[in-house]
Structure 1
Amino acid sequence: MSCLVRSSRTASARPLRRLTQTVCAVVLVAAVAACGSSGGTTSSTQHGPATATLADTNPVPIGSAPHPVLPVTVHSFDGSAVTVTDASRIVAVDQYGTLAQTVWALGLGANLVGRSTSAAFPAAKDVPSVAGGSGSINIEAVAAQRPSVFLTDTVSATPTLRDQLGALGITVVYFDPARTLAGVGPQIQAVAAALGVPRAGTALAQRTQHEIDSAIAAVPKQSPAPKIAFLYLRSTAITMMAGPSFGSHALITALGGTDAGQAAGITEPFTAITSESMISANPDVFLVMSDGLASVGGVAGLAKIPGVAQTDAGRNQRVIDMADAVLLSFGPNTGRILTALSHALYNTPA
């Protein structure tokens, strides 16, 4: 900005010159303030992809190994009452590795003898895998580990598998498969109760909730809120956008964003991407799992999916990815996950 004031040697021009200089100074200060401050918000458009990472994906134990107090009878999510008498050999399986992470964070990692491949944190690398990353359970592999208790959910264990587990006489406790921030603490406590370590469960749930609250409080305020679309990608054959009933919705809202799927009127957990649906949603940011992004050829391949290149996110190549085994785990690492996503989304220092 520049202000031009013609010089004059006449005394009568001096008041006008002073007034003009004052106005220019006021306008300049206002312009600088408008550029450099937005009342604690940020409105600049970010460009380019970013990967959200955790320096250490291992769940941090809440303390030394607790001593389970058993037997205990708990309410299983399948509606049954289950009595657990022994927690010395635990198999924990679900699609995102949450149950195994929780067992580890409770301090019972030494008792874990089976997991799904999605429980991919380094500390558990030597624990045998008894299920695929999608939670698909190998009943023979489970039986081979001679579990004293098997922890899973009602999605990973199909009705047929439930019958097979029952026929083998394995003690099974089922948990809620829903992915919500509000459910993180209660699920931790439910797992702890089933393993006879409720005090460790209370402490872990409190610590995790504190980390979640702190992460949410630290999220930068942006106006307008970024519109974020969670995409599920598995090669170009499976390209879907999530709606508000999928777990990604909780992450998006915690990050101060608007769920693009919800804004586009999606009511199911997922809907197949079409040019029309993508352009209608017009997200500012795509949130994806890293392996899914790689399966379509990275950011360049994503741009070839119908409608993506016509969105603001596509034009700006604004893609945030995070490891499949981390992003949707909704377990004891949730606070750190939100912090990492926030840094990637808002380009703030870690």
Structure 2
Amino acid sequence: MLSARTQVRLSSFLAYSGGVTRAIRSALATIAVVVLLAGCAAPGAGGAPQTPTPTGDTRPLTELPRYDDPRTVEGPRTAVISDDAITPVADHPDQTLPATVVSHDPDGDRQVTVDDTSRVLAIDLSGSLAATVWGLGLGDTLVGRDMSTTFPGTEELPVVTSGAHAVNAESVLELRPTLVITDGSIGPRDVLEQLRESGVAVVFVENGASFEGAVELARTVGAVMGVPEVGELLADRIAADIAAVRAQIDEIAPASPDRKLRVVFLYLRGGSGIYYLFGSESGADVLITGLGARDVAGELGWQGSRPMTDEALIEADPDLILVMTDGIASAGGIDGLLAAKPAVALTAAGQHRRFVDMADGEILSFGPRSARVLDALARAIYLKP
């Protein structure tokens, strides 16, 4: 049963779109967007969000001016990490090799012996694996990177994945890796199998899209790289940093469920017509609840990533929408998104133009920078510019 709030918005949307031709529906939807947003459009808000979070003030969240009620805030913000460099917990630690570890292959677990880490590819969809290797103090072993690995020190590494996050076989073979660490989130699988058949150690690791997953990943990659003790050190640091930031967020975010922000995460690739709503078990749910907000997509039973529908978004009726920076830009900015998906304009977030974007390689990258991602997003959501 839809809530009264949802029924009003859905009725409004259908009033514009029902019983007419596609051309007329499109025109009426555009008019609806203009009417809804005429009173709240911010200067320059047609493109990417224009109000970045200041990065100069690194005082704790609790010491800075914040909004009385974050649900009433209008206008977009860009979350920026104050320092996106990854500081290793150790400097060129001594490795104990060979190391025999369990590889969680898609077709079943197997034991893999790692005896050479001189040329490493640590590749996944979010860039978490390379960040973890760097955090262990073994960044100098990396010989290539995926598209999501963008932190300082990796700029000159050749990219081995394409725009679809697929492994480019030629690029990989040219790098002559001795070890490939992956979580199976990018493929194709046969490229990795070819490497394994040629004598390259290929290890599939479990990489949970959560803060706890980031902690466990430090231990796992530490074991693969022959530095299990350093992996424990990195895991402890990640856990402590996240706990410290979450404690601050708990102090500044509304405590009552009725006053907490209703948030959804939209994955956008406008040029390809891709508009996905991320629900539970996608990583976005953990990020949203970690920010002291309500994951309304999860509350409505949405799991993983699913194509966004007008009905689902209107029913969710978020106060704030999280997006990737390149994603919102690919949709033509906020104005382009609202024109392409007028149902967004019927939500509280759409009416208030309440979008918070963050760099694609950071926002869902659970790893050594998890605490800083939370901190940057919290500043954009709760603190005054």
Q: Classify the TM-score, shorter chain.
A: 0.7 to 0.9
Where does residue 227 of structure 2 map in the other structure?
Answer: 197
| 1:118 partner SS | coil
Alpha-carbon distance, 1:246 to partner: 0.7
The correspondence for 2:116, drawn from 86, 98, 108, is 86
Where does residue 272 of structure 1 map in the other structure?
Answer: 307
The correspondence for 2:94, drawn from 67, 92, 96, is 67
Matched, 1:50 2:77: yes
Matched, 1:296 2:331: yes
Alpha-carbon distance, 1:132 to partner: 2.8
- How far apart, in 2, do the equivalents of 1:133 and 1:64 lie? 33
Distance 1:348 1:314, change over 3 A: same
The correspondence for 1:247, drawn from 269, 279, 283, is 283
Alpha-carbon distance, 1:42 to partner: 4.4
- How far apart, in 2, do the equivalents of 1:56 and 1:339 lie? 11
- After TM superposition, the score normalised by the length of structure 1 is 0.84
Letter in 2 for 1:229: V
- How far apart, in 2, do the equivalents of 1:134 and 1:42 lie? 42
- How far apart, in 2, do the equivalents of 1:281 and 1:301 lie? 21
> Which runs of 5 or more residues in structure 2 are unaligned?
1-65
- How far apart, in 1, do the equivalents of 2:224 and 2:126 lie? 20
Larger deviation: 125-134 or 113-122?
125-134
Higher relative contact order (CA 8 A, sep 6+): 2
Question: What are the within-5 Å matches in structure 2 for residues 1-350 of structure 1?
Answer: 42-44=68-70, 45-78=72-105, 79-132=109-162, 134-219=164-249, 220-222=252-254, 223=256, 224-235=259-270, 237-267=273-303, 269-304=304-339, 305-348=341-384
Q: RMSD over aligned Cα, in angstroms? A: 1.8
- How far apart, in 1, do the equivalents of 2:163 and 2:92 lie? 27
| 1:143 partner SS | helix
What's the % identity of the aligned pairs? 39
Q: Could you tell me whether the CA contact under 8 Å between 1:116 and 1:133 is conserved in 2?
A: no
| 1:218 partner SS | helix
| 2:112 partner SS | strand
Alpha-carbon distance, 1:177 to partner: 4.0
Larger deviation: 242-251 or 256-265?
256-265
Cα deviation digits, residues 134-164 of structure 1 (max 9, x gap): 5311122212212121111122134323322
Alpha-carbon distance, 1:58 to partner: 2.0
- How far apart, in 2, do the equivalents of 1:133 and 1:329 lie? 17
Alpha-carbon distance, 1:89 to partner: 1.2
Cα deviation digits, residues 85-119 of structure 1 (max 9, x gap): 01111111111111111111111111111111211
| 2:356 partner SS | strand
Q: Could you tell me whether the CA contact under 8 Å between 2:167 and 2:188 is conserved in 1?
A: no
- After TM superposition, the score normalised by the length of structure 2 is 0.77
Letter in 2 for 1:105: G
- How far apart, in 1, do the equivalents of 2:305 and 2:275 lie? 10
- How far apart, in 2, do the equivalents of 1:198 and 1:134 lie? 33
Q: Could you tell me whether the CA contact under 8 Å between 1:287 and 1:320 is conserved in 2?
A: yes
- How far apart, in 2, do the equivalents of 1:273 and 1:328 lie? 19
Q: Could you tell me whether the CA contact under 8 Å between 2:100 and 2:114 is conserved in 1?
A: yes
Letter in 1 for 2:77: A
Query: Structure 1 segments of 4 or more deviating over 6 A?
Result: none
Size of the aligned set, in residue pairs, is 309
- How far apart, in 1, do the equivalents of 2:179 and 2:223 lie? 13
- How far apart, in 1, do the equivalents of 2:308 and 2:342 lie? 7
| 1:182 partner SS | helix
Cα deviation digits, residues 194-249 of structure 1 (max 9, x gap): 00011211111111111111111111221411010100100061111111121110
- How far apart, in 2, do the equivalents of 1:158 and 1:179 lie? 21
| 2:153 partner SS | helix
- How far apart, in 1, do the equivalents of 2:100 and 2:283 lie? 29
Alpha-carbon distance, 1:176 to partner: 1.9
- How far apart, in 1, do the equivalents of 2:381 and 2:360 lie? 17
> Which runs of 5 or more residues in structure 1 are unaligned?
1-39
Cα deviation digits, residues 28-59 of structure 1 (max 9, x gap): xxxxxxxxxxxx99435211111111132221
- How far apart, in 1, do the equivalents of 2:196 and 2:337 lie? 44
